[in-house]
Amino acid sequence: MALTDTAIRNAKPAEKPYKLTHGKGLYLLVNSTGRYWRLDYRFAGKRKTLALGVYPDVTLANARERRDDARKLLANGTDPSLVMTARKRATRQSAENNFEAVAREWYAKKLPTWAATTAKKVIRQLEKDIFPWLGNRPIKDIFAPELLDTLRRIESRGALELAHRVREYCGMVFRYAVATGRAERDPSRDLKGALSPVKTNHHPTVTDPKKIGELLRAINGYSGSFVTKCALQLAPLVFVRPGELRCAEWEEFDLDAAEWRIPGEKMKMRGKHIVPLSRQAVEILQATHLLTGSGRYVFPSVRTSARPMSENTVNAALRRMGYEKNEMTGHGFRSMASTLLHEQGWPHEAIERQLAHAERNKVSAAYNYAEHLLKRREMMEAWAEYLHGLAAGAKVVNIRKV
C-alpha cells in the first residue's frame, strides 16, 4: 500500500527501527534519530541501497521523483549510487574551488612576501568588493563580463584607481587557479581598456626652495607632540616612505655609525635598505631617544608605546600647520628630495637606490641594498646641509661635489 503524507507525519520512532514501504523499492526508514528515504535495488546481481534524503526536507513527492530518476539510470545500465557519489564529489569540489576559497589559498601563499599593511589592504578589498558577488562562484565558470560587472560596482563609486588595483588582484588569483589546475584561463586579461582610465596624481609636495624653507621653519615651530615634531623633522632628511618612518624601531639604528638599516619585511619591495644618517638626522634621533629610547618604536603611538604612531599623525600635523592635503603630505618629502636632488645633478642611480625604488632584477635586488653607498652618504649629508640653509632663510647654492 502506497504511503501518504498523513501516514508519514504520524510515523513515530519505536524501540527498533522500522520501514514504511511505498513501492518499487522506495521506503521510509524510521528510527530514533529521524525519518530517512531509502531505495533498495539490484545492480549486477547485487542488492544495494541508495539514500534519497531526509524527511521533511525531502517530501514524499521529491522522494518519488528521485526513485524514478534512479530507476531510469538502472534501465540504462547505470548504477545510481555511482552517479550520486559523483554528484556529491562535484558539489564538494565546486565549493572547494570557488573564487573565495582559491583567493584565500593564494593569499596565504603570498602573505609571507608582503608587508603587513599590504596584506591587510589586499584581503580587505577582496572581502569588501569581490567575495560578496563572486566568492561562491566556481572559479572556472567566471568569465570576463561577470568580472567586469563586479569591478564596475567599484568604478561607480568613483574609486577608479581601486577598481584597477582590484582587477590586478583578481588576475593574480585567476592565474594561480590556472597554475593549480582549477581554471583554464585568466578572464581579467580580457578587461584591458574596459575600465575608465585613472588620472595619475603625483603626491602633493613643495619643491620651490623658498617654500621649502617656510615648511621647515613651520615644522621647527610645531607646538604639538614632541615625538610628532621629531618625526616631521626627520622625514625630509631621510625621505623614506611614511610607513617605514612611523614603524621605525630603535634596534634598527646605529647612531655611532650614522646608519639606519630597515629590514626587508618592512620595505615595499621586500629588500633590506640602508639609510645613511646626516649629522642633523642623528641629532634629532638623539633627542627623540631621551623620550622614547626605552621602548620599541622610535615614534610610538600616543595611546600605547606597544604600537607605532598612527598613519595619519604626520599628515594631521601638516594640516594643523596650515598645509592642505593638495599642498603637502608625508609622502611628499620623497617627491621633494627626488626633484631637488635630480635638479642638483646627483647621480640618478644613487637617488633611486636611496628612494628604494623597484629593482627589476630580483636577484640583484637581494644584494644591492648597499649599492652606491659612499655616494649616497655624501648626498645625504649635502642634502641635510641644503635643507638646513633653507630653514635658516639663507640663499643656498647647490653644493654637489663633482
CATH 1.10.443.10 holds for 209-391: yes
CA nearest to 375, candidates 397, 346, 355: 346
Is 157 catalytic? The answer is no
Residue for grid cell 621602548: 295
Is 55 catalytic? The answer is no
Q: Which helix (H) or strand (E) holds 262?
A: strand 259-262
Q: What digits encode the pLDDT tens for the residues 101-139?
A: 999 999 999 888 777 778 888 999 999 999 999 999 999
Q: What is the secondary structure of 10-67 as a DSSP string?
A: H----SS-EEEEEETTEEEEEETTEEEEEEEEEETTEEEEEEEEEETTS-HHHHHHHH
Secondary structure class of 138 (helix, strand, coil): strand
CATH 1.10.150.130 holds for 99-191: yes
| E-strand stretches of 46-162 | 46-55
Q: Of the residues 268, 289, 307, 388, which is catalytic?
A: 268
- Distance (Å, whole) CA 108 – CA 140: 20
Is 367 catalytic? The answer is yes
Measure Cα distances from 222 to 23, 230, 313 in Å: 89, 10, 13
**CATH code for the part of the protein at 5-95:** 3.30.160.390
| Domains in the chain: boundaries | 5-95, 99-191, 209-391
Q: What digits encode the pLDDT tens for the residues 306-325?
A: 999 998 999 999 999 999 98
CA nearest to 378, candidates 349, 401, 352, 354: 401
pTM of this structure: 0.55
Q: Of the residues 9, 211, 342, 357, which is catalytic?
A: 357
Q: Residues 260, 261, 265, 269: is their CA dihedral positive or negative?
A: positive
Is 47 catalytic? The answer is no
Residue for grid cell 583567493: 103
Q: Of the residues 246, 273, 334, 377, which is catalytic?
A: 334
pLDDT digits (tens), the chain, 402 positions: 678 888 998 889 898 999 999 989 999 999 989 999 999 999 988 999 999 999 999 999 999 999 999 999 999 888 988 888 877 776 676 667 899 999 999 999 988 877 777 888 899 999 999 999 999 999 999 999 999 999 999 999 888 989 999 999 999 999 999 999 999 999 999 998 999 987 655 678 999 999 999 999 999 999 999 999 999 999 999 999 999 999 999 999 999 999 999 998 888 766 789 999 999 999 999 999 999 999 999 999 988 889 999 989 999 999 999 999 889 999 999 999 999 999 999 999 999 999 987 554 444 444 465 678 999 999 999 999 999 999 998 655 555 443
Is 353 catalytic? The answer is no
Q: Of the residues 331, 353, 376, 377, which is catalytic?
A: 331
Is 268 catalytic? The answer is yes
Answer yes or no: same fold for 99-191 and 209-391. Answer: no
- What grid cell was written down for 308? 607605532
Q: Is residue 171 a contact partner of residue 178, using CB atoms and an 8 Å limit?
A: no
Q: Of the residues 229, 241, 246, 375, which is catalytic?
A: 241
